Amino acid sequence: MLIDSKKQILFSEFTPGYGLSIALKMSPEKIIDIMIRSTLRGRGGAGFPTGLKWQATAKAQKTPKYIVCNADEGEPGTFKDRILLSDYSEKLFEGMTIAGKAVGSNKGIVYLRGEYRYLLKKLDKVLNRLRKIGYLGKNILNSGFDFDIEIVLGSGAYICGEETALIESLEGNRGEARNKPPFPTDEGYLGCPTVVNNVETFSYVPYIINKGADWFMEIGTEKSKGSKLFSISGDVKFPGVYELPFGVSIAEILELVGARDTKAVQVGGASGICISKKDFDKPLAFESLPPGGSIIVFNKSRDMLKVLKNFIEFFVEESCGQCTPCREGNYRLLEAVEKLERGECSINYLKVLRKLAESMKYTSKCGLGQTSPNAFLSIIDNFKGEILARPKKVND
Amino acid sequence: MANKDTKKTKKEKEQKSAEKLNLAQCSNAACGAGSGKERKLTGEKIKVTINDKELEVDKGLTILEAARKHNIHIPSLCYHEDLCVAGICRVCVVEIEGERTLKTACTYVVDRPIKIKTSSEKVRKARKFVLELMLANHFGECYSCFRNLNCELQKLAQEYGIDQLRFGHVTTPRYKVDKSSYAVVRDKDKCILCKRCIRTCVDLQEVGVLEAANRGIDTKVQTFFDKPLAEVVCINCGQCINRCPTSALRANDPTEQVWEAIDDPNKIVIIQTAPSPRAAIGELFGLPAGTSVTKKLNTALRMLGFDKVFDTNFTADLTIMEEGTEFLTRVKEVLVNKNKKVKLPMFTSCCPGWVKYAEHFYPEILDNLSTCKSPQQMFGAILKTYYAEKTGVDPAKIVTVALMPCSAKKFECNRPEMKSSGYKDVDYGLTTRELAQMIKEAGINLPELTESDFDHPLGLGSGAGLIFGATGGVMEAALRTVYEIVTGREVPFKNLDIMPVRGMEWIREAVIKFEKVKPEYKFLEGAEVKIAVAHGTANAKKIVDEILAGRGFWHFIEIMACPGGCLGGGGQPIPTNLEIREARARAIYSEDEALALRKSHENPEILQIYKEYFGEPNSHKAHKLLHTHYTPRGRY
Ligand SMILES: Cc1cc2nc3c(=O)[nH]c(=O)nc-3n(C[C@H](O)[C@H](O)[C@H](O)COP(=O)(O)O)c2cc1C
Ligand code: SF4
Ligand code: SF4
Ligand code: SF4
Ligand code: SF4
Ligand code: FES
C-alpha cells in the first residue's frame, strides 16, 4: 500500500469539546490566525481558504452574523458529508461554534439536503445533548459566549448547494444564485455577513484548534495541506468514503479501491473533469487535479459518450435557468451529444461547441454554469478517438 | 414569503437613496436579482481604468453606470434603469484584471481601483455567444414583429454582427399567445427571460402577477398557476410592456377595428386625445422626448379619417367639477353630518390601473374611491348622449375612440358597467404606440404637419385638465378649483403652480389651509386639508397600508398606477426611464403655463354643458352618466 493511511485527521481520535474549550479561551483574532496558518481550504468544491473567509466575515461591519453549514451535498456520486453528518456530527457542530466565536456570530444554521431528512432526528438529538452539557446555547462552558444551531431542510435542487442560492433558499425564495460580489462574507443571509462552509470543512476545525496548524500541515502537498474525504464509486470493488492525504495520485486510489481495467476517472463529481489513463499519475490537489468530493471510476466497458450525456443531462435539469449561457448553453451541449450519438455532428460544429463551452466557463453567473462544461470539454478532449470513431452520417 | 418584513423595511430604507440613483433597489430574489449593495454615493472618487483610459468614477456606481457616465458603451439587456439589477442575461460582461471569470457590468459595484476591458476578444466572443444562444431559442422573424426596429434584442444582434445562427433557430411556435386580456398580450415565444417584466410587476409595481417558473431550459415567465392574464390579478398597467426588450409583451391592439370603423361610411368615428400621448407621440417620429405635438396630431387624425377630434382635457375638467364637488360633499357629510356611511379619505378614481388594484387588493377601501368615472369614460358617455342629441345623430352610429397613454384604459372601456348611455361609452382605446403606427401606415410624417384646432364644443380643455397627464396633476387641478369654490380666491400658490404636489418623488404630501371661506362652506373655516399624491402601485400600497394601520391620515389622495403618472403609462412609446418621463412632464407643465384658461371651473364649454344638460355637478343626470361603482375582486 502506497498510501500512508496511518495519518488521518478526520477519522483520528476525537475528544468532544477539547477544541472548543481551547478556542473559547482564545481571542477571535487568534483563532482566525491559526485557521489562516493552517491553510485549510474549503472542502465544498471551490477550495477557498477558510481562514480568509472567516477573517472577511469578522471584519464586516454589519451585525448579526451567521454561520451556515452547507450540508446540501448534491453532487452526483458524493456522499462523504452524509457520513460526517450521520456519525460524526459533534465535530461539525463544534467547528461551527468555533467559527461563531471567531467571527462574532451567535447563530448557526445547517442547511441539510432534503434527501437527508432521515438524519434530522439524530442530529437534533446530538444538538440537544450538546446543549445539555453546555457546549451549545447560552454562556458556553462559562465563557460568556452564546451560540446555537438550527437545522433547516433543503429544497431538493442541486443549485441550492451553491452558497448564494442556498442563502436565497434559506430566506424562503426560489433557489437562484446571486451576483458576486457582494460575497456572503459581506452580505449573506438576510443581508448580513455570513460564513458558508462545507460540512467537512467545519469538521477539521476542532482538530486544527486542538492540535495546531503545524500538525494539520504535516501531510498534503505544497499548496493543498491536510487530507480530504473522497466518495469513491463506479467500477470499483470497494466503493466508499476514504480519507486520503492531498497529493495522492489517481493510480494509487484505483489500486486502493480495487479498480480494474479503468478507462476513465471523473474527478470532482459532475462538475469536475474526466481524465484518461495518461493523467492517472497526477496527484489530487487544488493545484493539479482539484478533487471536489467524489471520484467516479469507469472501466473499459463504458461508452464515454453515454457517460458524458448523463452528466450534461444532469446540468440541463439542474440549471436554475436564470442566466443565458448556462440555461441555453447546456441545452445546446446536450443537443450536440445527441447529434454525436446519431453520428450527425460535424467536426466544425464540435469546434464551435468547444468554444461555446469555454465561454460558458467564464460567462455564467454561478459555479454551476461555470463548471458544467468541464465534463464536456474533458471527455471530448480526452476521449476524442472513441467519440469520433462512431459512425458518421454528416461530415463537412 | 418568510422574510417579507425584513424585506420591506430594507426596501423602505433604500427608497430614498435609491431614488437618487434612479434605481429601484431590492435585495430579494423574487426577481432573481440577488443582493444589491445599499449603494450610497459618498462623493468619493475612484481611479478606474477602462480600456486603457484612466477615469475618475464615483465610488458606489456599477461599472455600467460609470461607463455610461463617461460615454463608454457597454451593451445591456436585462438591465433597466427603473429596476433592481438582475445580472442574468450576461450581455454586459466585461473583463476585470485579476478576475477568473468575466463580470457583469450591471452588477459590479466599483469600490476599489480596477482595470476593465469592455471589448476584449474574450468579451466580444462571450457576448456573441449569449446573443446567439438567445436567438436560437427565440421564435420570430423581425419583419413580422411589432418591435421591428425598436427591439433591444434585434439591435444587439445587429451590433454584434450576428449573420448566422450557429445553434439553429426555432421554426415553430411552442406556446400559445395569451390574448385573454383586453390590455396585455403575452407571447412567450419571443421571451428571452430577462425578467424585466417580473421585476416591474413584483418590485416596481408590487402587483406580483408574473413569476419565473420551472428550471433550466424549461424556465418561463408565468402567471399564478399559468392562468390566462385575464384571470389573474393583473391591473393592466402595462408597465411590463414598456420595459420588455422584445415583443413578448404588447398591448391588445384594436387598430384593425378602428380602421374598419373609419372605412365604414355609416359610422361617425370620434376620437378624444389625452394629454400624455400628445407629449410623447413625437418620440416615435424622431422628436426628442418632451415635444408636445397636440395640434399637429389633430391634423394627422383628420387625415386618418376621424370625423371629429376632441380633447380629453374637456372631460378632465368635467371630472374636476364632479370630483371636487363630491369631495366637498364627503367632507361635509363626515364633519358636519357625522354620516358614518360616507368615507374619507377620498381617493381619485381616474386611473383604471389603480381602480383594479384596489378592487383586488383593498376591497375594504372601495367606498373611499371617488365614484367619478375617468375622463375617458365620461367623454364616451357624453358623446353618445349630450353630443348625439345636440348634433342630432343616432348614437348607435357613433364610434368612440380614445387615444390614451394607457393599456388599462382598454380594460376600462370594456367594463360591463361602462354603458350608462345605453351604448358602450368608449368603443376602442388606442395607445400612443398604436396610433403612431396608424399614422405611419397612412404615410403621414407627423412632425411636418401644420397645426389645427380641436372640434367644438367638447374641444376646449383647461390647463388644469391638461396636467392630469403628470403625477400630481389631478390633485393640482382639483385644488385650483376646490379652493376657489370654497374661498372665492385663487389657490395661494404663485402663478397657480402647486409645486408641493409636482415632481417624481414617489409619495408627496401637502397641507392646504382653508381660511376666510364663503358662508356656505363655514364648516371648512380654518380646516387643514391633508393631501397626498402617489404614483406606482407599490407606493399606493404604502399609503393604503399606512391608513389601514391607523398611522396615516389624509383627506384627499391622488393615485396613479404608473410611475410618473399617465405620461409614463403602459401605452406610451418605448423605451421609458426617469429622464424621458421628466421631459414629458416638463412639456405638459409648460403647456399649462402658456394657457390662458387654467382652471376647470372657468372652462366655458364646461359651464355650457352644465347649463344645457347636467344642471349642476353631482346632479342626478351627472350621477347616471359620469359616475360608476366598483367590484371587489379576489386576490387570485
Ligand atoms: C452548483 C453548485 C453546487 C454546490 N453544492 C455544494 C454542496 O452541496 N455542498 C457544499 O459544501 N458546497 C457546494 N457548493 C460550493 C458552495 O458554493 C460553497 O463554495 C461552499 O459551500 C463553501 O464552503 P467551503 O469553503 O467550505 O468549501 C456548490 C457550488 C455550486 C456552484
Ligand atoms: S450558471 Fe446556471 S445555475 Fe448558475 S445562475 Fe446561471 S443558470 Fe442558474
Ligand atoms: S422580438 Fe425583436 S428580435 Fe424578436 S422577432 Fe421581434 S424584432 Fe426581431
Ligand atoms: S400589466 Fe401591470 S399588473 Fe399586469 S402583468 Fe404587467 S406589470 Fe403586472
Ligand atoms: S416577457 Fe419580456 S420582459 Fe419579460 S422576461 Fe420575457 S423578454 Fe423579458
Ligand atoms: S445587462 Fe448585465 S447581465 Fe443583463
The residue among B197, B194, B192 whose CA lies nearest residue B135 is B192
**Residue B216 and residue A352: Cβ atoms within 8 Å?**
no
Q: In 10 A of CB B366, how many CB atoms?
A: 18
Q: Which residues lie below 8 Å from residue B443, measured CB to CB, with a gap of 6+?
A: none
Mutate to test the pocket of ligand 3, among B89, B134, B156, B190 (most ligand atoms within 8 A of CB): B190
Q: Find out whether the beta carbon of A73 lies less than 6 Å from any atom of ligand 1.
A: yes
The residue count of chain B comes to: 636
For residues B27 and A182, what is the distance between their CA atoms, to the nearest angstrom? 11
Taking CA atoms, what residue in B is nearest to A354? B129
Question: Using one digit for the tens of pLDDT, what is the confidence trace for A232-249?
Answer: 999 999 999 999 999 999
**Residue A329 and residue B133: Cβ atoms within 8 Å?**
yes
Q: How far is CA B570 from the centre of its chain?
A: 5
Q: In 10 A of CB B447, how many CB atoms?
A: 11
Question: Using one digit for the tens of pLDDT, what is the confidence trace for B520-548?
Answer: 999 999 999 999 999 999 999 999 999 99
For residues B400 and B390, what is the distance between their CA atoms, to the nearest angstrom? 16
Q: If pLDDT is split at 50, 70 and 90, which confidence band does B7 have?
A: very low
Mutate: best of B167, B170, B198, B246, partner A, most A CBs <10 A: B167
Report whether pLDDT(B23) > 70: no
Give me the active site residues of B, please: 323, 326, 350, 370, 409, 412, 417, 566
Question: Using one digit for the tens of pLDDT, what is the confidence trace for B199-233?
Answer: 999 999 999 999 999 999 999 999 989 999 999 99
Chain B residue numbers touching A317 (CB-CB < 8 A): 215-216
pTM score, two decimals? 0.94
Q: Tell me the DSSP string of A223-280.
A: SSBSEEEEEEEESBSS-EEEEEETT-BHHHHHHHTTB-SEEEEEESSTTSEEEEGGGT
Mutate: best of B101, B117, B137, partner A, most A CBs <10 A: B101
Report whether pLDDT(B5) > 80: no
Amino acid at residue number B72 = I
The CA B55 to ligand 6 mean position distance, Å, reads: 22
HEC per residue, B318-367: HHHHHHHHHHHHHHHHHHCCCCCCCCCCEECCCCHHHHHHHHHHCHHHHH
The pLDDT assigned to A1 comes to 32
> How high is the mean pLDDT of chain B?
93
Instruction: Let me know: does A124 contact A152? Beta carbons within 8 Å.
Output: no
Q: How many CA atoms are closer than 13 Å to the CA of B41, on its beta-carbon side? A: 16
**Residue B129 and residue A325: Cβ atoms within 8 Å?**
yes
Chain A residue numbers touching B102 (CB-CB < 8 A): 362-363
Taking CA atoms, what residue in B is nearest to A183? B35
Question: Using one digit for the tens of pLDDT, what is the confidence trace for B96-130?
Answer: 999 999 999 999 999 999 999 999 999 999 999 99
Taking CA atoms, what residue in B is nearest to A189? B35
**Closest ligand 2 atom to A177 CA:** 5
The residue among B80, B131, B139 whose CA lies nearest residue B574 is B80
The CA B352 to ligand 4 mean position distance, Å, reads: 13
> Which residues form the pocket of ligand 3, taking CB atoms under 6 Å from any ligand atom?
B 138, 140-142, 145, 147-148, 151, 153-154, 190, 246-247
Beta strands in A66-209 (DSSP E): 66-71, 107-112, 148-153, 194-198
Decide: residue B337, CB within 10 A, 0-12 exposed, 13-18 middle, 19+ buried: exposed
Q: If pLDDT is split at 50, 70 and 90, which confidence band does B24 have?
A: very low
The CA A323 to ligand 2 mean position distance, Å, reads: 5
All three cell numbers of B281, joined, read 407621440
Reported ipTM exceeds the 0.90 cut: yes
Q: Find out whether the beta carbon of A279 lies less than 6 Å from any atom of ligand 1.
A: no
All three cell numbers of B372, joined, read 367619478
Instruction: Read off the pLDDT of each residue in B52-68 and give the average, rounded to a whole number.
Output: 95
Q: If pLDDT is split at 50, 70 and 90, which confidence band does B10 have?
A: very low
For residues A97 and A23, what is the distance between their CA atoms, to the nearest angstrom? 9
Among A191, A318, A321, select the one facing B219 at the smallest CB separation: A321
Considering only CA atoms, which residue is closest to atom 2 of ligand 5?
A: B244
The CA B69 to ligand 6 mean position distance, Å, reads: 17
| Contacts within 8 Å (CB) and 24+ apart, B209-212 | B209/B233, B209/B234, B210/B240, B211/B30, B212/A174, B212/A321, B212/A322, B212/B32
Mutate to test the pocket of ligand 2, among A72, A75, A158, A159 (most ligand atoms within 8 A of CB): A159
Residue A346 touches chain B, beta carbons under 8 Å: no
Amino acid at residue number A326 = C
The pLDDT assigned to A77 comes to 83
The pLDDT assigned to A7 comes to 67
**Residue B29 and residue A349: Cβ atoms within 8 Å?**
no
Question: Using one digit for the tens of pLDDT, what is the confidence trace for B154-183?
Answer: 999 999 999 999 999 999 999 999 999 999
Considering only CA atoms, which residue is closest to atom 4 of ligand 2?
A: A366
All three cell numbers of A150, joined, read 438550527
Instruction: Read off the pLDDT of each residue in B253-268 and give the average, rounded to a whole number.
Output: 97
B496 DSSP assignment? G
Owner of C-alpha cell 384604459: B409
Chain A residue numbers touching B107 (CB-CB < 8 A): 179
Q: How many CA atoms are closer than 13 Å to the CA of A363, on its beta-carbon side? A: 31
Among B35, B101, B137, select the one facing A187 at the smallest CB separation: B35
Mutate: best of B26, B28, B90, partner A, most A CBs <10 A: B90
Owner of C-alpha cell 430614498: B16
* Contacts A–B by Cβ distance under 8 A: 146
Q: If pLDDT is split at 50, 70 and 90, which confidence band does B635 have?
A: confident
Among A173, A187, A328, select the one facing B29 at the smallest CB separation: A173
Among B1, B212, B215, select the one facing A319 at the smallest CB separation: B215
Instruction: Let me know: does B246 contact B147? Beta carbons within 8 Å.
Output: yes
Ligand nearest B569 Cα, by number?
A: 4
The pLDDT assigned to A393 comes to 52
Q: Find out whether the beta carbon of B223 lies less than 6 Å from any atom of ligand 5.
A: no
Mutate to test the pocket of ligand 5, among B221, B242, B250 (most ligand atoms within 8 A of CB): B221
All three cell numbers of A345, joined, read 455532428
For residues A140 and A144, what is the distance between their CA atoms, to the nearest angstrom? 6
Q: b or e along A152-185 (b: 16 or more beta carbons within 10 Å of the residue's beta carbon)?
A: eebbebbbbbbbbbbbbbbbebbbbbbbbebbbb
The residues of chain A scoring below 50 in pLDDT are 1-4, 394-396
Decide: residue B412, CB within 10 A, 0-12 exposed, 13-18 middle, 19+ buried: buried
**Residue A319 and residue B193: Cβ atoms within 8 Å?**
no
Q: In 10 A of CB A232, how many CB atoms?
A: 24
For residues A66 and A108, what is the distance between their CA atoms, to the nearest angstrom? 6
Owner of C-alpha cell 460582461: B93
The residue among A321, A294, A109 whose CA lies nearest residue B191 is A321
For residues A45 and A53, what is the distance between their CA atoms, to the nearest angstrom? 14
